[in-house]
Amino acid sequence: MSLYEWLASKRNKPLKKYKTAINLQVPDGLWAKCDNCGFLMYYKTLNKNFKICPKCQHHFPASSEDRIYQILDKNSWIPLNNNLESTDPLGFSDRKLYGQRLRDMKAKTGLFDAVQTGLGSIGKIKTALGIMDFRFMGGSMGSVVGEKLTRLIEIATKDRLPVIILCASGGARMQEGMLSLMQMAKISSALHRHQISGLLYITVLTSPTTGGVTASFAMLGDLIIAEPNALIAFAGRRVIEQTIREDLPDNFQTSEYLFKHGFIDLIISRIELKDKLCQILNFYKIENY
């Protein structure tokens, strides 16, 4: 007879088994773990450090709202064409209707599409800024992304402003087919008119910047800046290796590899980005345009 059964027989009634385990529930969004080094930190600590790991300097993904706060002068942001959204021109469906996918992304992120565009100042220098947001369908480039960036560049050309685009994208949006690919030419044409007007265009490549975005406006900057260890590519590693039938270096398609081979001009940490952009804008005397 077990001790439990013996006690139950003496009391003439069954004993309840009590669990002594304590359920501790940690609120969501309190802690963050670095994907690179495994360092555990408070989210507040991470946010104060521009979403960069204080131990290994790994750059966490940042939203377009984060970028606005980190780069622009306080209260200088004026959004443009903020309510443009796709109408699902092809009626596309895969595992989910494209229209429903857009509605879900809008509810999840609070954005109408994968880019925010507007005017603001960096070190009191007025600038046209486009910020892609990877949270919205992987930052994919559809008709709305192309239209908003084109309108931004046209306004900058008219008002003689520099343009800065922060890229974060998986490439062209397959749900819009050929219409998404047409945005590459449309944005590039607007940039050409901006360039021949003698105006400055800067791109900032964040991780990841891939596909049709890399093949067009991301690589057309007068200055091409990248965050440390960012993934920058057109096609995926496996596709390239199978095509050329060779193994690629481990750091292939990183910003450091591309800098070494002359594809980008600068690698700048997110913490220093605003100050460096301010120096560049002052150097080119954009305030006199």
Same domain for 150 and 269, yes or no, is yes
Residue 101 and residue 43 share a domain: no
| pLDDT tens for each residue of 144-162 | 999 999 999 999 999 999 9
Is 56 in the same domain as 188? no
Is 60 exceeded by the pLDDT of residue 288? no
Average predicted confidence (pLDDT) for the chain:
90
The residue-averaged pLDDT of 180-203 equals 97
Q: What is the CATH number of the domain that holds 84?
A: 3.90.226.10
Q: What is the pLDDT of residues 29-81, one digit of tens each?
A: 688 999 999 999 999 999 999 999 999 999 999 999 999 999 999 999 999 99
Task: Please indicate, yes or no, whether residues 78 and 116 belong to a single structural domain of this protein.
Answer: yes
Same domain, 37 and 159: no
Residues 216, 186 share a domain: yes
Residue 4 lies in a domain: no
6: pLDDT strictly greater than 80: no
In this structure, is residue 13 part of a structural domain? no
At residue 94, the pLDDT reads 87
2 pLDDT more than 70: no
- My answer on whether 146 and 48 are in the same domain is no
Q: Are 53 and 60 in contact (CB under 8 A)?
A: yes
Annotated ligand binding at 278? The verdict is no
Q: Which domain holds residue 133?
A: 61-288
Confidence of residue 4 (pLDDT cuts 50, 70, 90): low
Task: Report the domain count for the chain.
Answer: 2
For 111-144, what is each residue's pLDDT tens digit?
999 999 999 999 999 999 999 999 999 999 999 9
Residue 65 and residue 50 share a domain: no
Q: pLDDT tier at 87 (50, 70, 90 boundaries)?
A: confident
pLDDT class for 286, splitting at 50, 70, 90? very low
- In a domain, residue 200? The reply is yes
Strands 125-132, 201-209: pairing is unpaired
- For residue 167, say whether it is annotated as part of any ligand binding site: no
136 within domain boundaries: yes
pLDDT on residue 5: 63
Sign for the pseudo-dihedral over CA of 136, 254, 238, 146: positive
Q: Is residue 12 part of a domain?
A: no
**pLDDT recorded at residue 138:** 96
Q: Give the pLDDT of residue 89.
A: 87
The 10 Å Cβ neighbour count of residue 222 is 17
28 band by pLDDT with thresholds 50, 70 and 90: low
The reply to whether 38 and 165 lie within a common domain is no
d(CA 199, CA 184): 20
Q: Does 34 appear as a known binding residue?
A: yes
- Does one domain contain both 97 and 43? no
Tell whether 205 and 258 lie within a shared domain: yes
